[in-house]
């Protein structure tokens, strides 16, 4: 079974332009994400999926300079970009990773990959009910199933928000939802890097690390987050 990891990103995000290449301690956000994924899979199964728009050339240049797989597709039809990338790399399952998810929980990720390897479910997600923080989203979908679903997408939102339609097809036999039992009190907090305030928070969290960032998962990050928030009051 070939499981691919697709990082969906673009350079000109509305709230924080260029965020995917913004640096924290001399390292761009995209590299933090890749290094976490490398704790789970090999580099050849990691792909950066950005658009064909010239505004995303800086992302492609970074990928080329650092020997990172990349795919270019539609700027606005993100669902199509994800699907065509998955098919182009012959992934049986694809993990959808947002380009602002810098703190993915590696331990949970490994458990979800083990569930995927059972080949019992077509969609595995930890997003339902937001029991994990925003910024730790993991969604894994069987490529042939996603192709079937894509063919019956109904609205503009379905093409822009890659997995939205799948949640409306709540098939208990084919969908598996992974819930946060590590640190339930962290449910729904904002760890995704959406704007400048989020970026500054990520800087503070990473600045508090005493070891490599991949040694820190939800159980270690949440107390740091709480302490930062307490000091900001």
Residue range 65-78, pLDDT digits in tens: 999 999 999 999 99
Find out whether 35 and 213 touch, Cβ atoms under 8 Å: yes
Check residue 127 and give its pLDDT.
94
Please state, in angstroms and rounded to a whole number, the distance separating the CA atoms of residues 19 and 99.
Answer: 9
Find out whether 126 and 188 touch, Cβ atoms under 8 Å: no
Domains of the chain (ranges, CATH numbers): 3-232 (3.90.550.10)
Please state, in angstroms and rounded to a whole number, the distance separating the CA atoms of residues 161 and 167.
Answer: 11
DSSP of 53-97, one letter per residue?
SGGGHHHHHHHHHTT-EEEEE-SS-HHHHHHHHHHHTT-SEEEEE
Task: Give me the mean pLDDT over the 215-227 stretch.
Answer: 95
Please state, in angstroms and rounded to a whole number, the distance separating the CA atoms of residues 179 and 181.
Answer: 6
Task: State both tokens at 103.
Answer: 């703190």
Residue range 1-46, pLDDT digits in tens: 999 999 999 998 888 989 999 999 999 999 999 999 999 999 999 9
Question: In the chain, pLDDT over 90 holds for what percent of residues?
Answer: 90
State how far the alpha carbon of 47 is from the alpha carbons of 86, 136, 140, in Å. Answer: 9, 18, 14
Residue range 146-186, pLDDT digits in tens: 999 999 998 999 999 999 999 988 777 899 999 999 899 99
């Amino acid at each position: 079974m070939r499981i691919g990891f697709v990082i969906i990103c673009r350079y000109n995000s509305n709230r924080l332009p260029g965020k995917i290449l913004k640096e924290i301690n001399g390292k761009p956000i995209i590299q933090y994400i890749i290094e976490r994924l490398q704790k789970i899979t090999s580099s050849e199964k990691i792909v950066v999926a950005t658009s064909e728009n010239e505004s995303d050339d800086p992302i492609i240049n970074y990928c080329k300079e650092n020997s990172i797989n990349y795919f270019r597709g539609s700027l606005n039809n993100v669902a199509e970009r994800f699907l065509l990338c998955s098919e182009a790399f012959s992934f049986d399952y694809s993990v959808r990773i947002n380009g602002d998810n810098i703190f993915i929980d590696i331990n949970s990720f490994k458990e979800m990959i083990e569930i995927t390897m059972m080949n019992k479910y077509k969609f595995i997600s930890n997003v339902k009910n937001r029991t994990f923080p925003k910024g730790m989203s993991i969604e894994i979908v069987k490529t042939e199933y996603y192709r079937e679903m894509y063919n019956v997408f109904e609205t503009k939102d379905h093409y822009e928000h890659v997995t939205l339609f799948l949640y409306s097809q709540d098939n208990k036999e084919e969908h598996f939802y992974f819930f946060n039992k590590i640190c339930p009190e962290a449910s729904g907090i904002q760890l995704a890097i959406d704007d400048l305030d989020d970026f500054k928070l990520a800087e503070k969290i990473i600045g508090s690390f005493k070891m490599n960032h991949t040694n820190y998962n939800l159980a270690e990050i949440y107390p740091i987050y709480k302490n930062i928030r307490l000091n900001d009051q």
